[in-house]
Amino acid sequence: MKRLMACLVLLLTCFGGAGAWAASGGTHQAQDVRVTILSTMLTDYGTLGEWGFAALVEVDGRRILFDTGGSPDVVLRNAEALKIDLSTVEDVVISHFHDDHTGGLLTLRKALMQKNPNALSRLYVGEGIFSPRYMKDGKSESANGFPALAKAYLETGGHIQQLSGPSEIATGAWLTGPVPRGHAETNWSPGLFVKSAAELVPDTLREDTSLVIATAQGVVIVTGCGHAGIMNIADDAKAMTGDARLYAVIGGIHLFAKPDAVLVETAARLKGLSYLFAAHCTGVEATFRLRELLGLDRRTAVVAAVGSSFTLGKGIDAGEIAGWVG
């Protein structure tokens, strides 16, 4: 059953172009999909690696930047090295508050708006991203840098849309907003807390938002750190698109420190997946183990490098170096 869209629009400033925000039915399938990695640890010729994530997602001509890397200038420099013009990208998604995904936002916005004032002018985030995060002593609120970043971003003339549930931001391309946590996954590094009533409870990254693309081949998921849990994200993606066929999982799914039993369960839930394009916090060992468990191979389950890409209908182009697999 399709989940009802519950797109709560919190416009921190008034946003023009009303049609762009309108939610619509999720039956359309995207024809042309390409995802190019712009920030992760592994690199190809001439690009920079870092602990972080960013990807350019192109869906039927619409260009979306999903996350912005960790260092202020890495995504900008990588895009230049790859000869990718990001100035025509007007939509940007920040998957969650961690600074390995937010670090490039301001640098990119300020640099790209010199060429196009609307570059990265629409920022999408999941509800909960502004929540104060606390250390164990309950005193420090300095662990969430996103509110200050959002303020600086708004001062550049950008607009922020906060999602409480699924929202179709381009035809056939959905943002999940906060993902229902039916499976008890804990795919994050513990240590921070949020307040619930008067109590401190572990931070589960409630805002963690993924991009879901409906295609004729099945569902394509792009996720930053996958803190909501890839099993949960997959269930949500299936529900919002009405398509039970998983086709590709792209990005970080934060399994690098998980025991084998978690990988076995994850693979069972991702059964039938055609492509695993694993970046960032997925982990190299976890990627190889999932490759084995999912019955994939070195062309269909790949550790992503900066500059490598996934194209619907063609598969993974692992990059100039990693692509030399004979």
Binding-site ranges for Zn ion (CB under 5 A):
98, 100, 225
Q: Is the Cβ of residue 24 or residue 142 nearer to Zn ion in the bound state? A: 142
Q: Which is nearer to Zn ion, 98 or 238 (CB)?
A: 98
Report the residue number, 223 or 309, with the smaller CB distance to Zn ion. 223
Distance of closest approach, residue 146 Cβ to Zn ion, in angstroms: 12
Residues 6+ apart with CB under 8 A from 234: 219, 221, 246, 249, 269, 270
* Residues 86 and 57: beta-carbon distance below 8 Å: no
User: Which one, 36 or 187, has the nearer CB to Zn ion?
Assistant: 187
CB of 188 to Zn ion, least distance (A): 6
Compute the least distance from the CB of residue 42 to Zn ion, in Å.
15
**Which single residue brings its beta carbon nearest to Zn ion?**
98
Geometric angle at alpha carbon 94, from 193 and 275, rounded to 5°: 105
160 C-beta neighbours (distance < 10 Å), count = 19
Q: Are the beta carbons of 229 and 266 closer than 8 angstroms?
A: no
Nearer to Zn ion, 36 or 282 (CB): 282
- Minimal distance, residue 268 CB to Zn ion, in Å: 24
d(CA 11, CA 179): 21
Q: Tell me the closest approach of the beta carbon of residue 51 to Zn ion, in angstroms.
A: 7
DSSP codes, 114-153: TT-TTTT-EEEEETTTTS--B-TTS---TT--HHHHHHHH
Local structure of residue 190 (DSSP, 8 states): -
